[in-house]
A and B are shown apart, each in its own frame.
Chain A
Amino acid sequence: MNMSRPKSSGTFDVVIVGGGIVGLCIGYGLVKCQLRVAVLDGNDADFSASRGNFGMISVSNKGFSNIPYFRLSLTSGRLWPLFAEELRECSGIDPRFQGRGKVYLSVGDRELDEQRRHIEEFSQRAGAEYRNEILDRDEVDALLGHVGLGEAVSGGSFSPLDGAVDPLKFYSSLLRAYQARGGHYLFGHIVDRIVRDTTAFFVRTPAGQFSAPRVVIAAGLGIPPLAKEVGLQLKVRPERGQIIVTERIDQVFKYPISGFLRQNVEGTVMIGSSSEYAGRDDRTTVEVLKELAKSAVERLPSLRSVQINRCWACLRPRTQDGYPIYQESSEQPGAFVVSCHSGITLAALHTRLLPQWIMEGARDRLLEPFGLERFRDEQPA
Chain B
Amino acid sequence: MNNPHETTNRLSSMSLNFEGCVIAAREGETVATALLAAKAGYTGTSQVSGRRRSPYCLTGICFECLVEVNGHANQRACMVRVRKNMTIRRQNRLPSLHLKGRET
- Given the complex, which residues of A lie within 8 Å of B74, measured CB to CB? 247, 307
> Interface residue tally of chain A, by bracket?
10 to 19
- Given the complex, which residues of A lie within 8 Å of B104, measured CB to CB? 301, 304-305
Asked whether A247 lies within 8 Å of B95 as measured between CB atoms, the reply is yes
Complex Cα spacing A11 to B74, Å: 54
Whether a CB of chain B sits under 8 angstroms from the CB of A331 is no
- Given the complex, which residues of A lie within 8 Å of B100, measured CB to CB? 249, 302, 304-306
Asked whether B94 lies within 8 Å of A249 as measured between CB atoms, the reply is yes
Complex Cα spacing A267 to B48, Å: 10
A307 to chain B, nearest CB (A): 6
Whether a CB of chain B sits under 8 angstroms from the CB of A148 is yes
Q: Mark B72-104, 1 if CB is under 8 A from A, else 0.
A: 101000000000000000000111111011011
Max chain B Cβ within 10 angstroms of own Cβ: one of A266, A302, A306: A302
Complex Cα spacing A252 to B101, Å: 13
Whether a CB of chain B sits under 8 angstroms from the CB of A197 is no
- Given the complex, which residues of A lie within 8 Å of B93, measured CB to CB? 250
15 A-B contacts, Cβ less than 8 Å apart?
A: A148-B101, A247-B95, A248-B94, A248-B95, A249-B97, A250-B96, A250-B97, A252-B98, A267-B47, A301-B101, A302-B100, A302-B101, A303-B97, A304-B104, A307-B74
Q: Other CB < 8 Å A-B pairs besides A248-B47, A305-B72, A305-B103, 20 of them?
A: A146-B98, A147-B101, A148-B101, A248-B94, A249-B95, A249-B96, A249-B97, A249-B100, A250-B93, A250-B94, A250-B96, A252-B97, A266-B48, A301-B101, A301-B104, A302-B100, A304-B101, A304-B104, A305-B101, A305-B104
Chain A residues packing against B (C-beta within 8 Å): 146-148, 247-250, 252, 266-267, 301-307
